[in-house]
Amino acid sequence: MKSLTIGSRRSQLAQTQSNLIRQNLLAAWSDLQVEITLIDTQGDLNRVDPLPAIGGKGLFTLELEEALRRHQIDLAVHSLKDLPIEDSPGLTLVAVARRAAVNDVLISRLAGRLDDLPDGAVVGTSSLRRAAQVLALRPDLRIKDIRGNVDTRLRKLDDPAHGYDAILLAQAGLDRLKYQLEHAHPIPEAVILPAPGQGALAVQGRADDRTTTPYLEILDHAETRAAVTAERAFLGGLGGGCSLPVGALARVDNDQLFLQAVVGDAAGTRLIRVSGHDSIEEAQALGDQLARQALDQGAGILLQP
């Protein structure tokens, strides 16, 4: 019987996502045994400093990737939005599982929409992407960094000592953890575009592992792969990493891929929006093309530190 070991971060959400992949593998292969090994990452160990301050690139992936190279694990499961654009040396993105919800969620007992929050309300998020789009809509709101897993953030919201009136989270994470919150309000994509790859799970393996790869490829979902390829190509075309104030979302409709994207400055004083479409086979080219359009409109200046 073939045995595989999945590498996962320790957070409840990461373990839930790794278990989803484990269950899918067991359902697909009767001759497979799958275990999960928990690994600490830099982003998990430092839960105090803002993500951009400690270097957003690879904060939640580097230790898992090193375990792959050392053959301590056979595959790593990541939230795709956390995975750097470039393949890490010796590793490859073997599969992108079917995508869950892509939108963000406003969690607040004060209002069901960003528009309805009180003047000067404090909104918790560690994402420059969310902050830029929120401030573009409501420059009076105050953005306050918030770190920790979903439970920790919800507790901080409910504790007046932390001073949050609302927090922003991803719908996919709440759904996977089976949260049903009366004060959770989906945010339309027209208001806040998600991060490139948001809602999708990445299955990463060794590029030369011909024994394991055939077991993993069955997890790949073609439409999700095409969509996130375009989104990540847009981000890569800007020369940036996953912590930048960049949103992108692609959808497939009748073999056509429709991509919309936004670039902002951290203060939300300006947003650049671009959109376009092409065939699924041209996903990479579509993302590259829209990145050039955004750069032509001044995106490079907005993204400067």
DSSP 123-146: EE-S-HHHHHHHHHH-TTSEEE--
Sheet holding 166-170, edge to edge: 142-144, 122-124, 166-170, 104-107, 184-186
Active site residue 82: yes
**Can you tell me the distance from the alpha carbon of 68 to that of 206, in angstroms, rounded to the nearest whole number?**
7
**Can you tell me the distance from the alpha carbon of 178 to that of 111, in angstroms, rounded to the nearest whole number?**
22
HEC secondary structure over 208-226: CCCCCHHHHHHHCCHHHHH
CA proximity to 86, closest of 302, 235, 295: 235
Handedness of CA 185, 188, 189, 192 (dihedral sign): negative
DSSP 3-state assignment of 287?
A: helix
Catalytic annotation, pick one of 74, 82, 104, 265:
82
Active site residues: 82
